[in-house]
Structure 1
């Protein structure tokens, strides 16, 4: 069994439906709405689904509910496992987010009958059900209570928006679901066949417009689950990211150099480019998601405090990995200081702490009525850690595979 991470769930499961489901293929439209709700939910238990394709239709169920006996989800999964004359394809589905007409997330292959047998053995007993109404009112009732018993609550609190089963032993259910997650995460990644779809006329126009408006920025253009960079941007990014430089066809003829990183890895990908001194812009579905300016990485003129003394940043040399600073307090020898970028960046990332009254007066000639806090020094700690790292034998680490292109 393999896992497929960062895929378009609608596309991947839709292919299974075309190949394995002969009748009632419209069931998949219902599944897509369930997947969309899961992707948009902030509740972890709502984002883990079980999906099944059979000859006559599909099913999409909640994993948590399926591991509680007597729920609809448990009974449905077990019912189909008893059918001997059908061919099943099953996945655990983990939606992340909706992007345009795609749902991005992970798929974990399941041996359906084996999984159903394990579920029958490990599912916990049900105690009650918890009902949530439109106005936010929540109540618990016996699990098999009928509609009539809650109809008066509907009149008072609005329609029912959510129902979940409450297990007799919540800790046991937690352990069962945690075991399922660990088994999934240990699966091997399925081999990918990456296909670079041509850049359409509309996409070319959109990219050209944003590049013309931001000519100095590395434009990361969202395409089918990736942020792609083209032309000269691609060449710069490929060297920084360690990704392949490929060729992407253009609608109407021609091609362009391309590289990139997964949308799910946008934070690490964009920051690796940003910290080299480049402006980096993330563009998704016609909108600017992030606009990172090189000048903001380590702002020239910013006053930081080292060993409880203020220093002002004078210049940043990304190629030389150097930041030049000088002592900012009046009456203090204007000491010049040169530090590496990572060291100074650690101060920039911290929440600014106001300077003391004496420092404000020394720098600006003005006082501040508010009480100021001393900023604890981390210089000695960082220097000690760097010294310890130089004395510690290096360990070879495997390179991460969050970059596919």
Structure 2
């Protein structure tokens, strides 16, 4: 992955939803939970609540506080690294900085992350947190993280509201989070969200084309029901969110003369089929950018450049 983008002063929930739709095929309702988390964070008076991490994967999304991701053995820490360690999912990850609420819209900045690198970084840098703070309606109490607890009301403190992991060294955590923000700000380049989402859609199609070509090469014998064709099922993750135009673009990228997309009797899904004599030792055709991506790029190129502000001359005449 090359330079990572930052998207400044955006409608956070609308922007993340647009990104999600380029990648999350199933359990998109997870994003409803994310929106509630983002809303509570935006309304919180605590500045530390306003830095979040968010990701989209093919079967769901997740939103957590950045501080919690860097605390060992917390649910948030384990969740953030799980999909890198245990799956080969395409994960789109972003740091989210909430800056305010304007006309009912939550505004902020998004920082694109290289998830494969980031989850490893989180794993290496995470700090111990041996205690939890249990927060109630009328107060709070601290206890060891290893001790079980439930959400029962406390006779003195009232209704249970939530709990937080407490870092063993709070200043070390604050220092780490400051460095994370500084590093992101220095390395990210300003991006255009429309161009970005178009590129994500292009990547979705190209990834599926490469997967199909790879699977075709792995087949040793024709595997269609009548043994006259080689066939590979189109990924359900792709077909769930692909438009007709996306499928047409996928078809155009596959390098086979006898290619067809078809459903097979008594089987679920859609299959790419090629004749048994087709040369399968080929690469995908050069990706054709979507019209949306081209328009977004043209818009970016033709946008008027900002003129440099005039500087006042504070020198003294002599």
**Matching residue of 2:189:** 188
Q: What are the residue-to-residue correspondences of 1:302-381 with 2, within 5 Å?
A: none
In the TM superposition, what are the counterparts of 1:181-220 in structure 2 within 5 Å?
181-186=181-186, 187-191=188-192
In structure 1, the partner of 2:54 is 51
Specify which structure has the higher proportion of strand.
1
Question: What corresponds to 1:121 in structure 2?
Answer: 124
Deviation, 1:97, is: 2.4
How does 1:213-232 map onto structure 2 within 5 Å? none
Cα displacement (A) at 1:101: 4.8
- The SS at the match of 2:156 is helix
Moved over 4 A (4+): none
Look up the match of 2:83: 80
**TM-score relative to the length of structure 2:** 0.58
Match of 1:98, SS state, is strand
- Which of 98, 106, 121 is residue 103 of structure 1 equivalent to? 106
Q: Distance in 2 between matches of 1:159 and 1:185?
A: 40
Q: CA RMSD in A?
A: 2.4
* 1:391 corresponding residue in structure 2: 316
SS in structure 1 of the partner of residue 22 of structure 2: helix
Report Cα offsets for 1:143-201 as digits up to 9, x if no partner.
122126x84x623322222321111122221221111010122122114669xxxxxxx
- Aligned match of 1:10: 13
Whether the 8 Å contact between 1:3 and 1:189 is mirrored in structure 2 is: yes
Post-superposition offset of 1:100: 4.1
Q: TM-score, normalised by structure 1?
A: 0.46
Structure 2 distance, partners of 1:86, 1:9, is 24
Question: In the alignment, is the contact (CA less than 8 A) between 1:69 and 1:125 conserved in 2?
Answer: yes
Which residue pairs with 1:22 in the alignment? 25
Q: Is 2:140–2:157's contact at 8 Å kept on the other side of the alignment?
A: no
Give the structure 2 partner of residue 32 of structure 1.
35
For residue 142 of structure 1, what is the aligned residue in structure 2?
Answer: 144
Counterpart residue number, 2:135: 132
Q: Can you give the 5+ residue segments of structure 2 that lack an aligned partner in the other structure? A: 196-311
Alignment correspondent of 1:65:
68
Counterpart residue number, 1:260:
none
Is contact 1:36–1:98 with CA below 8 Å preserved after alignment? Answer: no
Task: State the shift of 1:98 in Å.
Answer: 2.9
SS in 2 for 1:103: strand
Secondary structure, counterpart of 2:48 in structure 1: helix
Report the 3-state secondary structure (helix = DSSP H, G, I; strand = E; otherwise coil) of the residue aligned with 2:142.
strand
Q: Which runs of 5+ in 1 are unaligned?
A: 195-385, 394-405
Superposed counterparts of 1:253-292, under 5 Å: none
Q: Which has the higher contact order (CA 8 A, sep 6+)?
A: 2
Q: Partners of 2:192 and 2:149 in 1: how far apart?
A: 49
Bigger mean CA offset, 116-125 vs 77-86: 77-86
Cα distance, 1:51 vs. partner? 0.2
> Structure 2 CA distance, aligned partners of 1:20 and 1:392?
62
Change (3 A) 1:193 1:14: closer
